[in-house]
Structure 1
Amino acid sequence: MKAITLTTKRVSLAMLVPLLLVAGCGGETQGVSKDGAAVTAASDLKIQFMVPSFADVQDMNNEYWSKFQKDNKVQLDVEWIPSGDYDTKFDLVLASGNIPEVIVANSITRPTLQNAVKQGAFWDLTPILGDFSKYPNLKNNGYKDVWNYIRTDGKIYGVPRNRPHIDLSLKIRKDWLDKLHIPVPTTLDEYAAALKAMVNGDPDGNGKKDTIGLIGQSNSGNFFADSDGSFLAAFGGLDPVIAKDGGLINKYLTPNYTNMVAYFRQMYADGSLAKDFSTIKQTQAEEIFTTGRAASYGRNTWRDYSFEQTIKKVQPDANVISLPPMKGPGGVSVQLSVPFSGAFYISKKVPEAKVKQILDFFEKTTTMEQTDYNYYGIEGVHYKLVDGQQKLTELGVKQVTANGTGAIFPLAYNNKMKVINPAAPKAYNDAKEKSVASYAQVGKIDLFSIINSNTWTSIWPKYQSEWQSMVVKAIVGQISMDEYKAYIDKLNGSADFQTAYKEFAADYKEKFPK
């Protein structure tokens, strides 16, 4: 899908008469009023962004964005890249050196990002932020340790996009479980058995055995949409796995991950995985699930309601639930998100004066009020209060929920944000919050979304594609598990990898002090 660049152009009444514009960032605009007197007003800050789009491309002139830009005296020039293509585009942009003023990195540990940071592509924000006395919202409205997590070599280069811990969940069609008289799975073995039964049955009643079990979605080392981490948590792979020499083994190369591969291998042999799981894009995976062709899918918890409503158009009895924590051999199937979703990085080509203006913009918008605006929009336009809850209008669903408007906001930390759906009734949201509340107590975060290793950053790009290919080959049966294990042992035995693991251990100790 071709990326689309949308530039907001705002028109005021003053533009209907001759104007003399004074160029410059943060300068002034001078014109003539009706009575001929000079009129001077501060010009809007213009910021160029490149961000991932998780839904439709935004209309930056609609009611939502027009009010936001007016209230915050900002003009946003945003290049929205489809999320499934974003990492590829991100790497190409970094390689070209033609970096926009502000670019979102989905992962702060992405090797291409870390290389660009070390090569001086982005501003070191550490001296500007200082003790955060000028940025109390950035300091106090995020998770307590988020600024420590975001550092590279002890310095701050990115502004974290604050997000809640409770976010991702593994979904299943409960109406299909009920139809086949299968209890809601509480273990990984029960889950695999349930999918096998649904694939071999006819839960949608179309007279065909064409149901897909777990839908795949390959993206940046993940193979099953946003659920890889949930499965890995159940195998103990999100806990620190220590090498014999004291290093911290990367999650991809642990025995725990290998055990997860073996689990998927059996599911594939049983027909419970999508045959082309490794090549399906996000938009394809979502379309397969929302047209009632798949039993299970991993995405954000808040999407349960939206997915269910879409499926109901073709299967009126659809009931999508987030599975409870399922017990595995090393833990339970809950991955908590790190308390930020990547970060904003400011190109070194931006003048320092404008860097400070951009940070002021982030400071101003990192509030609960702005987070509520991001989530609900304008009262009377995008939502109405019903039983004490914001209830989105049809326009609100279109301009807010359906469009992933949070891409350019740091937002404030709020552990309900990725659970409740503003388009859903209050009773539904209350029940959903209750159903996943235990996630916060039993889930684990992905340490490797936070900790860094310079050596890993340097060497992993040389092996990543090969490793991904080996994972797929092992799952689909093209190589034996013994062959896969031998491949992993070879990597782990490399001096470079052992050095990387020692660096991971040192960074872990720094960012997660006991």
Structure 2
Amino acid sequence: MQKVGKRNTRNLAWIISVVMVMSVVLSACGNKEEGQVSGSGGNADDPLEVSIMTITPSAVPAADDNVIKRAIEEATNSKMNIQWVSNNIYGDKLNLTLASGDIPDLIMINDPFGSTFTKMVKQGAFWDITPYIKDYSNLSGGIPDIAWDTTKAADGNNYGIPRPRPVTGDSFFIIRKDWLDRLNLQVPETTDELFNVMEVFVEQDPDGNGTKDTTALAAYISPDDLGWGGNLGPVLGAIENSFIGTNSSWKWDESQGKLVYRELLPEVKESLQYLTKAYSRGMMPEDLLSLKLTQARELFKRNQAGIIVDKTGTMRKIYADDLKKVDPSFKYTDFYPLTNLNGYNPKGSGYNGILAIPASVPEEKMKRILQLVDTWMNPEVFEIQQFGIEGTHYEVVDGKKVASSEKLTADNASDFNHIVNVIDLPWDTTGETDEETQANELFKKVEAERDKTSVADLAAGLQSETGQKVLPELNKKIQDLKAKIILGREPIEAWDAFVETLRNDPNFQAMSDEMTEAYKKRNGQ
């Protein structure tokens, strides 16, 4: 388990970094004017030299001489110095980088409404790219309007390029269908049915090795997930969301004519009781607080857990091929996505983070960076990370590119989606094998079914000035208390007391009023 002392040290480091931001911001703002006088993007014919920081899900990131990187550089007339940062530590690394003042030319901001980035935006430390978007056809036309709308800052402007994601492909439950079949279980459609499945996965040896050594849900709770899924993150948050019927922090109450904060909803308490019971019965990892995303994924990949929360597109990229090495009988169609739970599945916000440009970058170079991303979105360029290099990663068969997933993974092809991604591509379900094609057809069918019932975050993009001040500390309190209750360190009555305190907090009331006002204004009420 994660020790309290380490947690406090981590929080202290974060607080120090935030405090440092204010002085850094002023220097960044000053650098903008100075940079525009003394430098530019260089000669337009010369390769654009650009530093980039973003996430990588890979244990070993792409090297500087990576063959796919070099091909993209040639196609975009650029020279990229990419700093790849593990998912596990990106939140901490981002805060430290923002506080240092040594900010890359293009930086992935995983939460455009986080307090540190928001403060720096207000101080003018990042470019407002709103007036420039129309000049780049792929940026303006290739990224969905919902992504631009839900990433606008409080002043209505965009301070970064959204990294687009399909609204129908959000992370949700994926279950081992072969385990269900082996134990004569039906695909769960409610949280009660899911609880029964998890219990059987723990008690009845689903992997057939004769040992009671499996858990059910590859879950974790991390400080990196503050603000997401009720501060429980993607896995346990998906269960809580299924109880309340939304992936938003707010729910509209028609009788009161206002937005209600999710933590006040009675379903949150029901979810906590459910998760507490599940944890006490071994349905999720005992070391819930010390695990990271990659470690939770490993449980599923090593045949030790039967349920994860992720996107269907992660099947071969992250899980299935590794699983086959451990369990040769595993088939791609056993990576089985649930359509709904309690009639709910989440509609995505249309984005996953934004790419921001610090104001210290001169205007001409800023424009060339926008052009870089725009050019990268052209089909012939984006296909480099889709298919790789002919003869190395793919062959042309009957006029179609047939790629080797293994070779693309070895060269970190999908990592480049964490810089530039294109989502309006036709879904060709054809795989390298009949087995993969069948799985892709299953995933396409599930996403079509999900689209009929998916629920959007109704508060996406709405902001509260009071919320910006109080939410960082409030989110920590919520996560800490929920974790203690789930682990049995605090009674459920502690949640009741916390909710009552929250109701009487004037700052909380002000935040609720501001969010309601913003919601009504956006919806013309």
Q: Does TM, normalized by the shorter one, top 0.5?
A: yes
Q: Report how far residue 173 of structure 1 moved.
A: 1.4
- The equivalent of 2:117 in structure 1 is 113
Q: Report how far residue 400 of structure 1 moved.
A: 4.3
**AA aligned opposite 2:51:** Q
- The equivalent of 1:205 in structure 2 is 208
Q: How does 1:207-356 map to 2 (within 5 A)?
A: 207-218=210-221, 219-221=224-226, 226-235=234-243, 236-238=245-247, 240-242=250-252, 246-306=257-317, 307-319=319-331, 320-328=334-342, 331-332=343-344, 334-356=345-367
Aligned CA-pair RMSD: 2.8
Which sits farther off after the overlay, 252-261 or 135-144?
Answer: 252-261
Q: Are the aligned partners of 2:246 and 2:456 in contact in 1 as well (CA < 8 Å)?
A: no
**Cα shift readout 1:29-83 (whole Å, capped 9, x = no counterpart):** xxxxxxxxxxxx9210011111111113112312211111011101111111101
Q: For the structure 1 residues 422 and 163, does the alpha-carbon distance in structure 2 shift closer, same or farther, using more than 3 Å as the test?
A: farther
Counterpart-to-counterpart distance in 2, 1:58 and 1:124: 30
Instruction: Say which structure, 1 or 2, has more relative contact order (CA 8 Å, 6+ apart).
Output: 2
Q: Report how far residue 86 of structure 1 moved.
A: 0.2
Q: Are the aligned partners of 2:137 and 2:374 in contact in 1 as well (CA < 8 Å)?
A: yes
Q: How does 1:150-169 map to 2 (within 5 A)?
A: 150-152=151-153, 153-165=155-167, 166-169=169-172
Q: Report how far residue 458 of structure 1 moved.
A: 1.0
Counterpart-to-counterpart distance in 2, 1:187 and 1:344: 38
SS across alignment from 2:145:
coil
Q: Report how many aligned residue pairs link the two structures.
A: 472
Segments of structure 2 that go 5 or more residues without pairing to the other structure are 1-37
**Cα shift readout 1:245-277 (whole Å, capped 9, x = no counterpart):** 644234455433333222212212332122222
**AA aligned opposite 2:292:** K
Segments of structure 1 that go 5 or more residues without pairing to the other structure are 1-22, 29-40
The TM-score with structure 2 as length reference comes to 0.82
**AA aligned opposite 1:49:** I
**AA aligned opposite 2:76:** N
- The equivalent of 2:94 in structure 1 is 90
Counterpart-to-counterpart distance in 2, 1:318 and 1:491: 48
2:72 to 68, 90, 100: 68
Q: Report how far residue 91 of structure 1 moved.
A: 1.3
Q: State the identity as a percent.
A: 28
Q: For the structure 1 residues 322 and 205, does the alpha-carbon distance in structure 2 shift closer, same or farther, using more than 3 Å as the test?
A: closer
Which sits farther off after the overlay, 61-70 or 111-120?
Answer: 111-120
Q: Report how far residue 200 of structure 1 moved.
A: 0.9
Counterpart-to-counterpart distance in 2, 1:197 and 1:126: 53
SS across alignment from 2:205:
coil
Richer in helix (by share): 2
Which sits farther off after the overlay, 481-490 or 67-76?
Answer: 481-490
1:456 to 460, 467, 470: 467
Which sits farther off after the overlay, 454-463 or 189-198?
Answer: 454-463
- The equivalent of 1:59 in structure 2 is 63
Counterpart-to-counterpart distance in 2, 1:381 and 1:121: 42
The TM-score with structure 1 as length reference comes to 0.84
- The equivalent of 1:139 in structure 2 is 140
1:492 to 482, 503, 506: 503
- The equivalent of 1:12 in structure 2 is none
- The equivalent of 2:191 in structure 1 is 188
Q: For the structure 1 residues 47 and 405, does the alpha-carbon distance in structure 2 shift closer, same or farther, using more than 3 Å as the test?
A: same
**Cα shift readout 1:228-259 (whole Å, capped 9, x = no counterpart):** 45324422233652468644234455433333
